[in-house]
Amino acid sequence: MHAPTAESLAERLLRADRAALARLISWAENGDARFSAALDRVYSRVGRAARTGFTGPPGAGKSTLVNEVAKAYRGRGATVGVLAVDPSSPFSGGALLGDRIRMEERTLDPGVFIRSMASRESHGGVAQATVDACDVMDAFGLAEILIETVGVGQAEYDVVAVADTVVVVLCPGAGDGIQAMKAGLLEVADVLVVNKSDLPGADRLARDLDEAVHVRFGREQAFPVPVVSLCASSGEGVAELLEAVDGHRAWLAARDLPAARLAKRAERVRKTVDAEVSLALWGRRGWGAFVAAELAAGLAPHRVARELGRRVSETLPPAPGAPESNFRGERA
Amino acid sequence: MSTRRIRVLIGKPGLDGHDRGAKIVATALRDAGMEVVYTGLHQTPEMIAEVAVQEDVDVVGLSILSGAHLSLFPRVRKELLARDMGHVVLTGGGIIPAEDVASLEQQGYAKLFGPGTRTEDIATWIQAEMQRRWSDEGAAR
Amino acid sequence: MTKQAKRGPVSSTSSADPRALWEAELAAARLRGAEFSTVSQSPLQALYGPAEAPLDYERDLGYPGQFPFTRGVHPTMYRGRLWTMRQFAGFGSAQQTNERFKYLLGLGQTGLSTAFDFPTLMGYDSDHAFAEGEVGQVGVAISSLEDMQRLMDGIPMAEVSTSMTINGPAPILLAFYIACGERQGVDPRELRGTVQNDILKEFQAQHAWLVPPIPALRMITDVMGYCAERVPQWNTISISGYHIREAGSTAAQELAFTLANGMEYVRRGVAAGLNVDDFAPRLSFFFDSHIDFFEEIAKFRAARRIWARKLRDEFGAKDPRSWMVRFHTQTAGVTLTAQQPENNIVRTAFEALAAVLGGTQSLHTNSMDETYALPTEKAVKIALRTQQLIAEETEVANVIDPLAGSYFVEAETSRLEQEALATFAEIERRGGVVACIDSGWIQKEIHRSAVLYQRAVELRRKKIVGVNCYEEPDGDATPLELHRIDASVETDQRARLADLRRRRDGARARRELEAIRAACRSRENLLARFVAAAHADCTLGEIADVLRQEFGIYKEPKIL
Ligand SMILES: Nc1nc2c(ncn2[C@@H]2O[C@H](COP(=O)(O)OP(=O)(O)O)[C@@H](O)[C@H]2O)c(=O)[nH]1
Ligand SMILES: [Mg+2]
């Protein structure tokens, strides 16, 4: 395992070497320069896996549920990959990754691969490494990929970028319906789960959510979000959840899943390029210092911005096949 | 831009449920900037090794207060080697008499920490160990 | 006059009252660089007076043996009878522990206390794969009724009182004990002793569980019901703060979580149809005695007062025995250091003294070498002698609750009581003890305190001699004689189990196991079934497997 190359890891990944899969995910997380070369070599095999995201407030039972869902998919004969994201400490950058505790039963199943990830710097970073990790799991041949994120802050939007189907998990008590709506959780849901149906208040929450998703306006084209009540700790109701997820997949397939996926991938390319360009611009190319000097000299920010924006966009090459005149025309 | 973080697995092999030390160390390593996978209680050596593979950890730290260290530590190491994970730094702590520490350190455990150890010293030791390995690795590349 | 004049400007305010004078002097003085707080990091004043300890004597203190029992549960306390000196012992095979028991009884110990190994504590037989390397290591391995018979061989079960420190599989071990007595010809009505059987604190702190909380609580009410009828002298639960404290809690948390657990058992018993006065008198408690002398004494006194008020006023218990906190104490294992281990003798002596001044009913004193391995005979003897010395030489056992009326001790007693009441309210707000276990809230609180204490030690705000002050190079290399468990214990145990499985009536054993399965699914009393299964030589692991299949296994919540 010492200093492997992109080629050797890619080759081992295709031979179903779990350590190679694990190392590629580390490369993705670390922004290792070798990652993209390795992904290139296996990218033709990406796109076969179904990706389901699980989000919701801490303690709602996501990990417990992911464990049960993994078990159910194994029962259908599918292999399963799990990515469990926990927050990084804003103070030290370290993280405690403990979701596996709830998934212990799956540890020794050769058809399951579980990976914990820290969110690291949250701006786009979560989505980036998570998508990359999903891709290598996909190339490895795992059929069902389950992604667990913490339902606070940015995470729920990131999970949309990663998953084909988003399951929002709530439970009575701590994360009630109103709070979930306020947090924007309902917006991202393709399927709503009311977990802990064994506890008082679960029926009530399910009714409230049912009402909430059906009175939304302007969603005629949208998938009718089902509300599934279940008890993750006993597994009761998990079969119904799988049916609901199947329903969403069928709905996507009947429309254009490929288009939706392509749009997500385009978004991902944009984000990566944005990040790279801005890094180069403000750092290596020295524009950060230039701006600071201009401002210090008393120029107004909007003027500095306009000037810089003009100079930068002038130097941008047109995409192959794009009519150059258009570009010039815009400026006129 | 490469941002590599030290990944550590803190494991509790065997049946003993005393996890005060393991959880304090896990928390302290998090506060020292590491990513710490904690798998909970009552793990078999096989489980610990399998998690180490999937999580691609750099370090495995075991906590044992059950007196079963002479059986459990070597078994975890054996399972790791069987999975081609010989590069992982092995460490641990618990109630382990000095003569057993010496014997385990000869069997491939880089360092064992006794009762009363400062968590800061554990973090510093891991950081130094990883720095050394990473610079060796860099030189090899 | 001249003396005062020399004191300078402070004394010139001669009109000031003495209190203000003292305060001014204290404020002006240079104090040593220490943190003035309890070991639980609760702040302390330099001086306590009547203002800090407003008491209504009759209401808050009363008399020994009378409500609210702040001063003790017996009218005579140690003038009637000294506390029971009960050293926790167990290691290796049943036969080895039986020998240690006899050694301790020979030294003048007055009760037995059994430590089990981890496989037994988790409900696995010695020949299970999970048991590899752990058999007999931290306690004795008991997998069958025959093992229990070897443990109690030659010990008159009608006379000696036995405590068994086990929780998840407690009902099964109690069944072995009852059946063992029957084989010795002892009526269950004559058996005296305690089974820890406190599953709530297992989920919170010690983590030796068998099945999830709800079925585990049902087995506990089964034990309470069965014993109320047939083993009336048995203490059915020892509600334990010890492990909560050792897991890192503060004194106030130990007190609050333990009593909250106790109240939960009472609620469950009542909900199961038992009359509170039929089982509450058989509930006993088990606390830690930590190194902070006064805080500990106050904790024991507060425990008695809180429980008495709760049981009488909230649970409506009529029998005064239901109101009493009778408790066992163990000196704090976590305060022992591997460095300069002889110092542990001194620590243990202070802790033991606090337990006695706090009115404990029985006491275990730790041995100096327990941070290395199992205690040696010599270390155990010194630990027991420490108690005997307190009892016989120091003369502290002559006066009941001697620290009552100390402004400081009374203020601490009230502070701990108030903190416990606030914690009860918080637990209630979070849906009760079981919900707090499920969400991990209690575990998180304990972990937080453990981290805060560790930090204080690393910053030297809390001192530990030999660890962060007065260190000696090689202080932890002091060679102590080590007590090791021979590997033959495990192989012999396996062989004995294989032999038992060959000899016994297999069909009968299978029938008894199926009867347990049926009882799991009905309301039949499980302890009654376990006793029958014990007589049919079903093993601990076989019975526990049925329970795990029927009730499921437990996985802890993520709390980090
Ligand atoms: N009563 C009940 N508790 C559950 C259920 N599912 C999960 N839990 C508990 O909820 C807590 C949090 O679960 P976890 O899966 O870690 O939640 P996450 O933070 O959303 O990943 C754990 O203590 C679980 O035991 C359920 O269906 N019923
Ligand atoms: Mg989780």
pLDDT, average across residues C90-102: 93
Whether C131 has its CB under 8 Å from any CB of chain B: the answer is yes
Residue A332 belongs to a domain: no
- Residues A130, A27, single domain; the answer is no
Q: What is the largest CA-CA distance in chain A?
A: 69
Residue ending a domain, choose from A219, A254, A289 = A254
| Contacts B67 to C, Cβ<8 Å | 134, 137-138, 373-374, 485
Closest residue by CA, ligand 1 atom 22: C557
> Which residues numbered 39-78 in A keep a CB inside 8 Å of some CB on B?
none
CB contact under 8 A, B87 and A1: yes
Torsion angles phi and psi, residue C434, rounded to 5: -65, -40
Token pair listed for A237: 């109701």
CB contact under 8 A, B55 and A33: no
Fold of B7-128: Rossmann fold (3.40.50)
- Confidence at A178, pLDDT banded by 50, 70, 90: low
The pLDDT value recorded for residue A216 is 63
Q: How far apart are CA C220 and CA C70, in angstroms?
A: 28
CA C365 / ligand 1 centre spacing (Å): 40
Ligand 1 atom closest to the CA of C557, numbered from 1: 23
H or E element in which residue B93 lies: strand B89-94
Token pair listed for C527: 């302890």
Least CB–CB distance from B30: residue in A18, A31, A92: A92
Closest residue by CA, ligand 1 atom 13: A61
Whether C521 has its CB under 8 Å from any CB of chain B: the answer is no
| Contacts A104 to C, Cβ<8 Å | 555
pLDDT, one tens digit per residue, over B82-135 is 999 999 999 999 988 888 999 999 998 999 998 889 999 999 999 999 999 999
CB contact under 8 A, C560 and A96: yes
Residue C478 has pLDDT above 70, yes or no: no
* Strand bridging mode A165-170 / A144-148: unpaired
Residue of A nearest to B33 (CA): A94
Token pair listed for C41: 């990091």
Residue C315 has pLDDT above 60, yes or no: yes
CB contact under 8 A, A30 and B27: no
Q: How far apart are CA A185 and CA A166, in angstroms?
A: 10
Question: Three-state secondary structure along C181-192?
Answer: HHHHCCCHHHCE
The pLDDT value recorded for residue A124 is 42
Give the range among A258-267, B29-38, C129-138 with minimum mean pLDDT.
Answer: A258-267
Q: How far apart are CA B72 and CA C120, in angstroms?
A: 18
- Residues A285, A172, single domain; the answer is no
pLDDT, one tens digit per residue, over B56-73 is 999 999 999 888 999 999
pLDDT, average across residues A122-140: 79
**More confident position, C100 or C332:** C332
* Strand bridging mode C234-235 / B89-94: unpaired
Smallest CA–CA separation between B141 and chain C, in Å?
37
- Confidence at A324, pLDDT banded by 50, 70, 90: low
CA B57 / ligand 1 centre spacing (Å): 27
Whether B5 has its CB under 8 Å from any CB of chain C: the answer is no
pLDDT, average across residues C462-476: 88
> Which residues numbered 47-86 in B keep a CB inside 8 Å of some CB on C?
66-68, 70-72, 75
Query: Tokens 């919701």 — which residue?
Result: A56
Residue A127 belongs to a domain: yes
Q: Are B61 and B10 in contact (CB under 8 A)?
A: yes
Q: Are B37 and B59 in contact (CB under 8 A)?
A: no
CA B99 / ligand 2 centre spacing (Å): 41
| Contacts B38 to C, Cβ<8 Å | 560
Smallest CA–CA separation between A207 and chain B, in Å?
36
Residue-averaged pLDDT of chain C: 94
- Residues A278, A224, single domain; the answer is no
pLDDT, average across residues C533-557: 97
Closest residue by CA, ligand 1 atom 12: A59
The pLDDT value recorded for residue C477 is 56
Q: How far apart are CA A137 and CA A139, in angstroms?
A: 5
- Confidence at A323, pLDDT banded by 50, 70, 90: low
Token pair listed for A187: 């917006």
H or E element in which residue C162 lies: strand C161-165
pLDDT, one tens digit per residue, over C204-256 is 999 999 999 999 999 999 999 999 999 999 999 999 999 999 999 999 999 99
Handedness of CA C105, C111, C114, C115 (dihedral sign): negative
- Confidence at C74, pLDDT banded by 50, 70, 90: very high
- Smallest CA-to-CA distance from C177 within C134, C234, C104, C102 is with C234
Could you give the dihedral angle defined by the CA atoms of residues A300, A304, A310 and A312, in that order, rounded to the nearest 10 degrees?
-160
Task: Please give the distance of CA A232 from its chain centroid, rounded to a whole number.
Answer: 23
Residue A158 has pLDDT above 90, yes or no: no
Residue A135 has pLDDT above 90, yes or no: yes
Residue A1 has pLDDT above 90, yes or no: no
- Residues A281, A159, single domain; the answer is no
| Contacts C118 to B, Cβ<8 Å | 14-16, 66, 68
Q: How many CB pairs under 8 A join B and C?
A: 98
The pLDDT value recorded for residue A180 is 62
Coarse DSSP helix, strand, coil percentages of chain A, rounded to the nearest 5 percent: 55, 15, 35
- Residues A79, A211, single domain; the answer is yes
- Residues A35, A183, single domain; the answer is no
Q: Distances from the Cα of B137 to the Cαs of A252, B85, B134, C348, in angstroms?
A: 46, 16, 5, 51
Smallest CA–CA separation between C439 and chain A, in Å?
7
pLDDT, average across residues B13-18: 93
**To test ligand 1's pocket by mutation, which of A54, A62, A64 has the most ligand atoms within 8 angstroms of CB?**
A64
pLDDT, average across residues B35-49: 96
- Smallest CA-to-CA distance from C142 within C100, C161, C170 is with C170
Q: Are C334 and C464 in contact (CB under 8 A)?
A: no
pLDDT, average across residues A31-53: 94
Residue ending a domain, choose from A11, A29, A44 = A44
Query: Which residues, listed in sequence order, are joined to residue A167 by a DSSP beta bridge?
Result: A54, A191
CB contact under 8 A, C560 and A59: no
3-state SS, residue C469: strand
The pLDDT value recorded for residue C480 is 64
Residue A285 belongs to a domain: yes
- Smallest CA-to-CA distance from C151 within C85, C96, C69 is with C96
- Smallest CA-to-CA distance from C415 within C23, C36, C54, C65 is with C54
Least CB–CB distance from B15: residue in C130, C374, C558: C130
Token pair listed for A30: 């670390």
- Peptide bond connecting C320 to the previous residue in cis, omega within 30 degrees of 0: no
CB contact under 8 A, B56 and A33: no
The pLDDT value recorded for residue A162 is 85
- Per the structure, the complete domain to which residue A226 belongs is given by 46-254
Half-sphere exposure of C230 (CA within 13 A, CB side): 16
- Residues A161, A228, single domain; the answer is yes
- Residues A27, A60, single domain; the answer is no
The pLDDT value recorded for residue A66 is 98
CB contact under 8 A, A98 and C558: yes
Q: How far apart are CA C178 and CA B24, in angstroms?
A: 41
C558 lines ligand 1 (CB under 6 A): yes
Smallest CA–CA separation between B127 and chain A, in Å?
13
- Residues A52, A73, single domain; the answer is yes
Question: Best of A102, A108, A114, A236 to disrupt the C interface by mutation (most C CBs within 10 Å)?
Answer: A102
Whether A93 has its CB under 8 Å from any CB of chain B: the answer is yes
pLDDT, one tens digit per residue, over C421-466 is 999 999 999 999 999 999 999 999 999 999 999 999 999 999 999 9
CATH number, domain at A212?
A: 3.40.50.300
- Residues A17, A87, single domain; the answer is no
Whether B47 has its CB under 8 Å from any CB of chain A: the answer is yes
Residue A54 belongs to a domain: yes
- Smallest CA-to-CA distance from C288 within C256, C321, C333, C339 is with C333
- Confidence at A322, pLDDT banded by 50, 70, 90: confident
Residue B18 has pLDDT above 90, yes or no: yes
Q: How far apart are CA C446 and CA C452, in angstroms?
A: 10
- Please give the domain boundaries of chain C with CATH numbers for all domains: 57-464 (3.20.20.240)
Give the range among A122-131, B7-16, C40-49 with minimum mean pLDDT.
Answer: A122-131
- Smallest CA-to-CA distance from C327 within C294, C366, C358, C367 is with C358
Residue C149 has pLDDT above 70, yes or no: yes
| Count of residues making up chain B | 141
Give the number of domains in chain A: 3
pLDDT, average across residues C257-271: 97
Residue ending a domain, choose from A254, A283, A299 = A254
Q: Which ligand is nearest to the CA of C438?
A: 1
Angle of helix C213-230 versus helix C540-551 axis, rounded to 10 = 130
The pLDDT value recorded for residue A331 is 42
Q: Is C97 exposed, middle or buried (0-12, 13-18, 19+ CB in 10 A)?
A: buried
Whether B140 has its CB under 8 Å from any CB of chain A: the answer is yes
- Residues A71, A195, single domain; the answer is yes
- Confidence at A179, pLDDT banded by 50, 70, 90: low
Whether A107 has its CB under 8 Å from any CB of chain B: the answer is yes
